[in-house]
């Protein structure tokens, strides 16, 4: 039986994030890919996840996951993991991903590797490659512990590959315990940055002292 690999789906500005789709494509290459989508999302979110490898989506549109920080998602994921026992749980190495993954690892005592660029599965263990010093060096870490393993993956580590398939949907009940509603999100502010967005670039072109004067940077901008 193929390894069951889950991806924590993130929504930013009413869109499934590119890294979520990259992780799903990688998961589908290595095993049975499924996604967990918690909180409000666009109408085509499930279709988008299915179109990048998810055979099943665990779904709750309850605003508690949007309006309260971290704990509702962690409690829900913990219950799902205890029930279904996926081999891997993949998170984007984003602020939200690190927050949820760290709390989930502590709650369930799960092994975790962060900031990885690639990984392989073999005989129940996972071997992860971690780029260092701008990719000049590669560190390798192995998780051989039993149970679900958590990986936090860098953006642009894999290619998002569209596919033609549908996904079943399992509705998830949000936690009802008032204790999970500890940190209420009162406002979200989107800061629009000027200039190139490096985190989304496949290639970064940079200049330094060799250009000799500021006007020569126009060549790079072009």
Question: Which pLDDT tens digit goes with each residue over 81-122?
Answer: 999 999 999 999 999 999 999 999 999 999 999 999 999 998
Three-state secondary structure call for residue 24 = helix
| Antiparallel, parallel or unpaired: β 125-132 and 118-122 | antiparallel
Three-state secondary structure call for residue 126 = strand
What is the reported pLDDT for 115?
96
pTM assigned to the model: 0.89
Torsional class of 13: left (φ above 0), alpha (ψ -120 to 50), beta (otherwise) = left
Q: For domain 4-180, give the CATH number.
A: 3.40.50.620
Question: Which pLDDT tens digit goes with each residue over 176-200?
Answer: 999 899 899 999 888 877 777 666 6
What is the reported pLDDT for 220?
75
Q: For residue 53, how many other CB atoms are within 10 A of its CB?
A: 26
- Per-residue DSSP letters for 171-199? E-PPP--GGG--SB-----PPPPPS--GG
Sequence ranges of the domains in the chain: 4-180
- Per-residue DSSP letters for 27-91? HHHHSEEEEEEES---TTHHHHHHTTT-SEEEEE--THHHHB-SHHHHHHHHHHHHHH--SEEEE
Q: Burial letters for 28-42: b for 16+ Cβ neighbours within 10 Å, e otherwise? A: bebbbbbbbbbbebe
Q: How far apart are CA 78 and CA 29, in angstroms?
A: 25
Question: Which pLDDT tens digit goes with each residue over 113-172?
Answer: 999 999 999 888 999 999 988 778 999 999 998 899 999 999 999 999 999 999 999 999
């Amino acid at each position: 039986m193929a390894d069951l690999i889950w991806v924590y789906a993130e929504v930013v500005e009413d869109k499934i994030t590119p890294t979520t789709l990259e992780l799903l494509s990688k998961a589908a290459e290595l095993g049975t890919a499924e996604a967990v989508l918690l909180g409000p999302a666009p109408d085509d979110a499930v279709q988008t996840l299915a179109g990048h490898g998810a055979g099943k989506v665990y779904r709750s549109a309850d605003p508690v996951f949007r309006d309260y920080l971290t704990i509702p998602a962690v409690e829900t994921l913990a219950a799902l993991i205890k029930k279904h026992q996926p081999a891997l749980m993949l998170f984007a190495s984003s602020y939200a991903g690190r927050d949820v993954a760290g709390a989930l690892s502590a709650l369930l005592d799960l092994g975790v590797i962060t900031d990885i660029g690639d990984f392989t599965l073999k005989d129940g263990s996972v071997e992860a490659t971690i780029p260092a010093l701008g990719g000049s060096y590669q560190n390798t870490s192995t998780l051989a512990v039993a149970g679900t393993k958590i990986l936090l993956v860098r953006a642009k580590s894999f290619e998002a590959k569209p596919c033609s398939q549908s996904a079943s949907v399992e509705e998830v009940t949000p936690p009802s315990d008032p204790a999970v509603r500890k940190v209420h999100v009162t406002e979200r502010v989107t800061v629009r940055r000027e200039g190139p967005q490096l985190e989304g670039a496949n290639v970064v072109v940079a200049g330094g002292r060799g250009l000799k004067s500021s006007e020569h940077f126009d060549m790079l901008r072009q």
